[in-house]
Amino acid sequence: WRASPPHRTTPVWPTTPAPPRSPSPSASATASSPAPAWRSSARSPWTRCRTSPPTGSTRRAATGTCGCRSAPNDALVAFHALRAVQKDAGSAARVRWQMNGFNRSPGATAHPMTARNLMGQVDGTRNPKPADSDFDRRIFVPKKGEPAWMANGSYVVVRRIRMLLDDWEKLPVEEQESVIGRRKSDGAPLSGGTETSEMDLEKTDSKGGLVVPFNAHARITRPDQNGGAAMLRRPFSYHDGMDTDGVPDAGLLFVCWQADPLRGFVPVQRKLDRGDALTPFVRHEASGLFAVPGGAAEGEYVGQRLLEG
């Protein structure tokens, strides 16, 4: 993340295709605090989130006093960046938990394309884009938002979602596609077209059934099926080896950003809890909500208004 312009944190988006040769290592880092850890008001998103119905699937919380994300394109750089943070923290902080993830390496494909998850599905097709007219409104806390120290910041939800790959891989490709609502080969909606084609939710087959099933994951997570709820998803895949019974401990480190989790993540999660065809093939094992203050102007530091009042 970078501060551009002052007081605004914005994701770093690639502007040119990755070169075919190995690029120079680069890094981005994000510091955050768990939402409930700091003083709050009745209007604070996390205050309202704590009084909302729980999702029911989270078994353990991924919380702490401060969060740090290191996301370079080189694992060695990631390791040393985290080591630097740990050493600088000294005795003031200790690591409570850590999750390691990965994405497709730069230059792995001839042309930029949407990444795939460990289930083999194209994942991230309908992500909000900075060019969208409502991007800032959906992703960033307003300048005059509450609390004041979160102005131009964003809230991030982090979830460790284990994929039950043995069960998933037993399904024929056609059934996997019905669960998701998109073709596995190219990510196009089952209603036809290409990956970026608009999904036809009303299209039926020769038997009168919906081409995109009513409980298909891609269908029920759409903004127009959740009162306009949208979030910027920046997930990572993870693989932490095998269990003692030989089952892979692998899945998705789900990370999403929004101006208000009650208007972004929560409505979609409630919809998923009521009936998502993907539910039998995943297990939520950790969850956390973090506050990321806006960027700092020259002479300031990130989070200054929070720490100094």
Q: Which residues are catalytic?
A: 123
Burial 247-261 (b: 16+ CB within 10 A, else e): ebebbbbbbbbbbbb
Across 141-292, the runs of DSSP E, i.e. the strands, are: 154-163, 232-233, 236-242, 248-258, 282-292
Contact 176, 187 (CB under 8 A): no
Q: For residue 265, which phi and psi values (nearest 5 degrees)?
A: -70, -45
Work out the number of other CB atoms within 10 angstroms of the CB of residue 305.
18
305, 7 Cβ separation under 8 angstroms: no
118, 239 Cβ separation under 8 angstroms: yes
CB-based contact 264:258 (threshold 8 Å)? yes
DSSP, residue by residue, 105-126: PTTSSSS----B-TTS-B--TT
DSSP secondary structure string for all residues of 236-268: EEEEEEE-TTS-EEEEEEEEEEES-TTTTHHHH
